[in-house]
Amino acid sequence: MARWSEERVIGAAPDESSIAAARKLARPGPWSDTGSNDVLVWGKCQGSGKTPYQVSVDLATPAYRCSCPSRKFPCKHALALLLLWARGEAADVGAETADFAQEWADQRGDRAAARERRQSEQQTDPVAQAKRLADRLTLMDAGISDFTRWLTDLVRTGLAAARNQPYGWWDGVAARLVDAQLPGLAEQVRAMGSDVHARADWADHLLFHAGRWWALTKAWGRRDDLTPNEFADLRVAVGWAMASADVQGTEVLPGPWLVLGAHRSDDGRLQQQRTWIRGPDGTVAVVLDFAAQGEALTTPQLAGAELDVTVARYPGSAPQRAMFTSPVTPRGLVHSLGEGCSIAQALELESAAVALSPWRERHPVLFGGVRVSPGDHGWIRDGSGDALPIVDAPLDSLLALTGGHPVDLFGELEDGRVRPLSVVVGEAVVTP
């Protein structure tokens, strides 16, 4: 593996405080028994206790392991070791692999081999495959029927009564949906349990989603009448994932692909990273990465970077989910993301996308010449006077970057709000 740059190490940090703590440890003093090979970096870091922490990093995945009690991945020790390795100050190549690092690597290899065996056995037995599919559909049908009855009761008793329910009531419904292998629906219901108390427009928000859930239950009952793309969108909405192996064999699109922006989220159970990219023909797609708690997400791609990589797309309506099908090679950075649109045009584009796929929750949009203004969580305004509220963005950082001047801004439209992911300031694409 090529030696990482310090920028890539910083990009892998879960938050600013972790990288700040790592910088203090990124000196040879506390470290011993460091080394590296083609895929591993390892070392021991002396902490406040008697026994030094054992740190291992798998560069290929990447994955991280440290014997410290931190719940962050990567922790400050793994980041510090990678900073030392990136600078060439520790973890020299050629050292004998430490026992703790080799044991961890062997365990990971055994688990990966076991997964491959299970997948191979499942793919080579069509009878077993058909039975698993029939069993899953039966379970999902029962889950949709139960959810339909719950929606009917929700409307019959009134939205105000639903708001007075404890979070455990919503979580119980979500748990039943998970048992019915409908995790996408479960996550929406679980989030609603918080939204009805956190949002000022909770009644409109709940009514909108209840209507969409009802339409989804009707669409599920008529799934045999849907087009392949419509059914693919419905599968995403209920949380029926498609295996990546089924996508790898489809048509691939060559690069270069431009990174428009990325967003990370963490609901306490699952981490997600969305990376929006645009191809040379203008095709926009989103690459999704997931990691369970205790595992690390892949290092995010830099907004404004052009990537030499081939991409395969999942079925569904545009913009589609995509996956990289070749090694990613950065070509350089661009100075502009292209021509943006007004807020009115963005809402028209969102409306057209919803008409094709009513289950889609967010829409990528490149705004042109908008200003960031303060107020509540902040607003973006265009030259026509139209405005949209900002969500999930550091307003102080946005105001400092833009200085009140019109900028091009890429973000996600979601529930009538915009989540800024990148802005073009001067001749640079910057992540707020």
Per residue of the chain (432 residues), what is the pLDDT tens digit? 678 888 888 888 888 888 999 999 999 889 998 988 888 999 999 988 889 999 999 888 788 999 998 878 889 999 999 999 998 887 777 668 889 999 998 888 888 788 777 766 666 667 777 888 899 999 999 999 999 999 999 999 999 999 999 989 999 999 999 999 999 999 999 999 999 998 888 999 999 999 999 999 999 999 999 999 999 999 999 999 887 777 877 778 898 999 999 998 877 677 888 999 999 999 999 998 887 766 667 777 889 999 999 999 999 998 999 999 888 888 888 999 999 999 999 999 999 998 888 888 899 999 999 999 998 789 999 999 999 999 888 888 899 999 889 999 999 999 889 999 999 998 899 988
Q: What would the two tokens of residue 128 be?
A: 């077993």
Strand-pair partners of 313: 322
Q: What would the two tokens of residue 322 be?
A: 């995509």
Residue 297, amino acid: L
State the Rg of the chain over Cα.
24
Contacts of 243 (CB under 8 A, 6+ apart): none
pLDDT recorded at residue 276: 96
Q: How many angstroms separate the CA atoms of 16 and 6, rounded? A: 14
pLDDT recorded at residue 12: 83
Q: How far is CA 48 from CA 1, 30, 53, 79, 390, in A?
A: 32, 10, 10, 18, 43
pTM: 0.73
pLDDT recorded at residue 294: 61
Q: How many angstroms separate the CA atoms of 161 and 142, rounded? A: 26
